Amino acid sequence: MKEKKKHLLDLKNSELSQFISDGGFPKFRTNQILSWMFDHKITSPEKMKNIPKNLANALNESFDTFMPEITQRSDSKDGASKLLLKTAAGQYIESVILRYDGRTSLCVSSQVGCKLACGFCQTGKLGFVRNLSTSEILSQFLIASEIVSKEDRKISHVVFMGMGEPLLNENSIHLTLERLVSKETGFGLKWKNVTVSTSGIAPAISRLAGLPVKSQLAISLHAANNELRTELMPINRKYPLEKLRESLVDFHEKTGQTITIEYILIKDLNHQKKHGKELANFLKGIPAKINLIAFNKHPGLPYERPDEESMATFKERMIRHGFTTTLRISLGLESSAACGQLAAKTQDKLTEKPKRLSLFSS
Ligand code: SF4
């Protein structure tokens, strides 16, 4: 069987240099190629104007340069564009562009589907298919960059909040972070503008803290007592709040950073006085800011959004507990911008039957 070619965007710098020297090309060609990819966002060797034809041919013969195809785009009045992208393997992933005054964010997927089955999430219903490669994640950035460049915008922020749990795909994520943030051999985004959002894979949070490349950390918490959190997020069985807390303390000690806590407000479930106290206790001693998110109601999910007054009361409560707290009525309501929701609508298009792989079977 023919071996699958590695994608050009999946190469580490050392692998590209090795390829250049093995082919007898001068060393400076490595930097030229990296500059085309990351300064000019061009990944087709034939479009790299100062690269000789024999090198462009060699790159094309040895590496894949496929870009996912946009198969559906839905724009909403509030400035969100949701993209459904088809990968080379024929599977669907989604990215969401969020336009604000002065900044443009991109929410990227890190997996096809997700094995974590959070109760409030459409992606969780798809089950898990596979991890995305670095090139498949960076392609989402390149495609969105091209779209917004026509509106005189640049993607300034990237959040790993689309389909999948990024910290269960560490191999791809670590190189992706380097490529997004590095000024010399990457897209040069500010590290403060790149956020890894996780359901709480405790040991991977500590590993993230130890990387040479920095990024922001957001935790999808949604409840600060084990019983309720396990009901909402089964991963809490494997990494209960005590373990998660240890990893957050570790992350803060190693990086000095403030951690963002994402907390979806769900009607009658997690916004009463006692929930506020539990959240404040959980975060005691950890520099954190809290993002409250109004739940986006969707067919097939059993939850409702609380009324505005209850949400405002919970926000005030957390402010009184001493936390910087914001309440987000999410962008993209019309285009179902919340995690996993567009892909779930096109579930029948997933070419591989989703498999639910259990993390908890052992
Ligand atoms: S919320 Fe995130 S971690 Fe949970 S099922 Fe959805 S994609 Fe997976």
CATH number at residue 32: 1.10.150.530
Indicate the top mutation candidate among 109, 165, 232 to test ligand 1's pocket, ranked by most ligand atoms within 8 A of CB: 165
Q: What pTM, to 2 d.p., does this model score?
A: 0.91
Q: Which residues line ligand 1 (CB under 6 A)?
A: 114, 116-118, 121, 123-124, 163-165, 199, 220, 339-340
Give the CA dihedral 339, 341, 342, 345, nearest 10 degrees: 160
CA distance 22 to 1: 25
- What is the predicted pLDDT for the residue at 1? 61
Structural domain ending residue among the three candidates 20, 48, 64: 64
Residues of the chain whose pLDDT is less than 50? 333-342, 344-362
Structural domain including 49 reads: 12-64
C-beta atoms surrounding 46 within 10 Å:
13
Among the options 94, 165, 178, 262, which is catalytic? 94
Regarding whether 117 and 23 lie in a shared domain, the answer is no
Angle 230-328-120 (CA atoms, 0-180°, nearest 5)? Answer: 30
Structural domain ending residue among the three candidates 49, 64, 79: 64
Name which residue sits closest to atom 7 of ligand 1, judged by CA. 164
Catalytic: 339?
A: yes
Regarding whether 78 and 138 lie in a shared domain, the answer is yes
- What is the predicted pLDDT for the residue at 126? 80
- What is the predicted pLDDT for the residue at 350? 38
Q: Which of 306, 341, 362 is nearest to 114 (CA)?
A: 341
Distance, CA 304 to ligand 1 centroid (Å)? 18
Regarding whether 53 and 165 lie in a shared domain, the answer is no
- What is the predicted pLDDT for the residue at 90? 95
Distance, CA 236 to ligand 1 centroid (Å)? 12
Say if 2 falls within a structural domain: no
Q: How many CA atoms lie within 13 A of 166 on its CB side?
A: 30
Say if 359 falls within a structural domain: no
Q: Which atom of ligand 1 is nearest the CA belonging to 162?
A: 7
Regarding whether 282 and 164 lie in a shared domain, the answer is yes
Angle 101-176-13 (CA atoms, 0-180°, nearest 5)? Answer: 125
Residues 8 and 42 sit within 8 Å (Cβ to Cβ)? no
Regarding whether 90 and 19 lie in a shared domain, the answer is no
- Residue 196, φ and ψ in degrees, nearest 5: -95, 120
Distance, CA 162 to ligand 1 centroid (Å)? 8
